Amino acid sequence: MVLTGRFSEKKVTAAEAVKKIKNGSSVFIGTGCGEPQELIKAMVADLSIQDIVIYQMLSATLSNYVNEAHFLSRFSLKLFFISPYMRQAAFEGKIDYLPAYLSQIPELFYSQQINLDVALIQVSPPDEYGFCCLGISVDITLAGLKTAKTVIAQVNPRMPTTWGDSHIHIDEIDHLVYHDEPLVEFIPATKNQQVVERIAHYVIQLVDDGATLQVGFGHLPDAILPYLKGKKDLGIHTQVITNGLLSLLKQKVITNRKKTYLPNRVVASLCMGSSELYQYVDNNPMFYFRASEFVNDPNVIARNDNFISLSSALEVDLTGQICTDSKGYLFYSGIGDQVDFIRGSKMSRNGFSIIALPSTAQGGEVSRIVSHLSEGAGIATTRGDIDIVVTEYGIAELHGKSIYQRVMELTQIAHPKFRETLIDESKKRHYIFPDQVPPSRQDLIFLENYKSYLELPNGKSVEFRPLLSSDEFAIRNFFYSLRDESIYYRFFHQKKVFKREMLQKQWSTVDYRKNMSIVGLVQKGKYKEIIAIGSYYGEEESDRAEVAFLIREDFQSMGIGSYLLQLLEEIAEENQYNAFTATVMSENVAMVRVFKKRYPNAQIQAYGRESEFFMPF
Query: pLDDT tens-digit profile of 259-313?
Result: 999 999 999 999 999 999 999 999 999 999 999 999 999 999 999 999 999 999 9
Instruction: Establish if 435 belongs to a structural domain.
Output: no
Amino acid at 444: L
Cα–Cα distance for residue pair 84/79, rounded to 1 Å: 12
Q: How many Cβ atoms are within 10 Å of 486's Cβ, its own excluded?
A: 18
pLDDT given at position 177: 97
3-state secondary structure 408-474: HHHHHHCCHHHHHHHHHHHHHCCCCCCCCCCCCCCCHHHHHHHCEEEECCCCCEEEEEECCHHHHHH
Q: 577 and 548 in one domain?
A: yes
Instruction: Establish if 340 belongs to a structural domain.
Output: yes
> pLDDT digits over 116-157, tens only?
999 999 999 999 999 999 999 999 999 999 999 999 999 999
Instruction: Establish if 147 belongs to a structural domain.
Output: yes
Determine what percent of the chain is predicted with pLDDT higher than 90: 84
Cα–Cα distance for residue pair 442/451, rounded to 1 Å: 18
Q: Residue 146 gets which letter from DSSP?
A: H
Handedness of CA 458, 461, 467, 471 (dihedral sign): negative
Report the domain count for the chain: 3
Q: Reply yes or no on whether the pLDDT at 560 is more than 60.
A: yes
Closest CA to 62 of 92, 95, 107, 106: 95
Mean pLDDT of the chain: 93
Where does residue 378 rank: exposed (0-12), middle (13-18), buried (19+ CB within 10 A)?
buried
Instruction: Establish if 438 belongs to a structural domain.
Output: no
3-state secondary structure 51-74: CEEEEECCCCHHHHCCCCCCHHHH
Contact 133, 157 (CB under 8 A): no
Last residue of a domain, one of 398, 428, 458: 428
Contact 101, 340 (CB under 8 A): yes
Q: 286 and 313 in one domain?
A: yes
Q: 382 and 311 in one domain?
A: yes
pLDDT given at position 490: 84
Q: 525 and 379 in one domain?
A: no
The three-state secondary structure class of 533 is strand
Q: Reply yes or no on whether the pLDDT at 3 is more than 60.
A: no
Maximum distance among all Cα pairs of the chain, rounded to whole angstroms: 107
Span 380-392, average pLDDT: 94
> pLDDT digits over 65-117, tens only?
999 989 999 999 999 999 999 999 999 999 999 999 999 999 999 999 999 99
Contact 388, 206 (CB under 8 A): yes
Q: Reply yes or no on whether the pLDDT at 4 is more than 80.
A: no
Of 39-48, 345-354, 565-574, 601-610, the one with minimum mean pLDDT is 601-610
Q: 36 and 112 in one domain?
A: yes
Cα–Cα distance for residue pair 512/440, rounded to 1 Å: 10
pLDDT given at position 411: 96
Which domain covers residue 226, as residue numbers? Answer: 193-428
Contact 434, 427 (CB under 8 A): yes
Q: How many Cβ atoms are within 10 Å of 600's Cβ, its own excluded?
A: 8
Instruction: Establish if 184 belongs to a structural domain.
Output: no
pLDDT given at position 5: 52
DSSP per-residue codes, 329-375: TEE-S--TTHHHHHHHHHHSTT-EEEEE--SEETTTTEESEESSPPT
Q: 345 and 198 in one domain?
A: yes
Burial string for 389-423 (b: 16+ CB within 10 Å, else e) reads bbbbbbbbbbbebebbbbbbbbbbbbbeebbeebb
> pLDDT digits over 446-491, tens only?
999 999 999 998 888 999 999 998 898 899 999 999 998 888 888 8
Burial string for 325-363 (b: 16+ CB within 10 Å, else e) reads bbbeeebbbbbbbbbbbbbbbbebeebbbbbbbbbbeee
Domain CATH for 147: 3.40.1080.10
pLDDT given at position 65: 96
The three-state secondary structure class of 503 is helix
pLDDT given at position 57: 94
The three-state secondary structure class of 302 is coil
Q: 396 and 452 in one domain?
A: no
Domain CATH for 256: 3.40.1080.20
Q: How many Cβ atoms are within 10 Å of 432's Cβ, its own excluded?
A: 21
Instruction: Establish if 368 belongs to a structural domain.
Output: yes
Of 95-109, 158-172, 187-201, the one with minimum mean pLDDT is 187-201
Q: 320 and 263 in one domain?
A: yes
Contact 370, 321 (CB under 8 A): no
Instruction: Establish if 436 belongs to a structural domain.
Output: no
Contact 62, 42 (CB under 8 A): no
Cα–Cα distance for residue pair 194/485, rounded to 1 Å: 49
Q: Reply yes or no on whether the pLDDT at 1 is more than 50.
A: no
Contact 188, 219 (CB under 8 A): yes
Q: 594 and 463 in one domain?
A: yes
Closest CA to 330 of 62, 92, 99: 92
Q: 220 and 173 in one domain?
A: no
Instruction: Establish if 186 belongs to a structural domain.
Output: no
Span 26-55, average pLDDT: 97
Domain CATH for 607: 3.40.630.30
Span 517-539, average pLDDT: 91
Q: Reply yes or no on whether the pLDDT at 6 is more than 70.
A: no
Closest CA to 216 of 269, 257, 289, 282: 269
Q: 419 and 453 in one domain?
A: no
Q: 89 and 31 in one domain?
A: yes
pLDDT given at position 507: 72
Last residue of a domain, one of 397, 428, 459: 428
Q: How many Cβ atoms are within 10 Å of 275's Cβ, its own excluded?
A: 12
Last residue of a domain, one of 125, 155, 178: 178
Determine what percent of the chain is predicted with pLDDT higher than 70: 99
pLDDT given at position 224: 95
Confidence of residue 492 (pLDDT cuts 50, 70, 90): confident
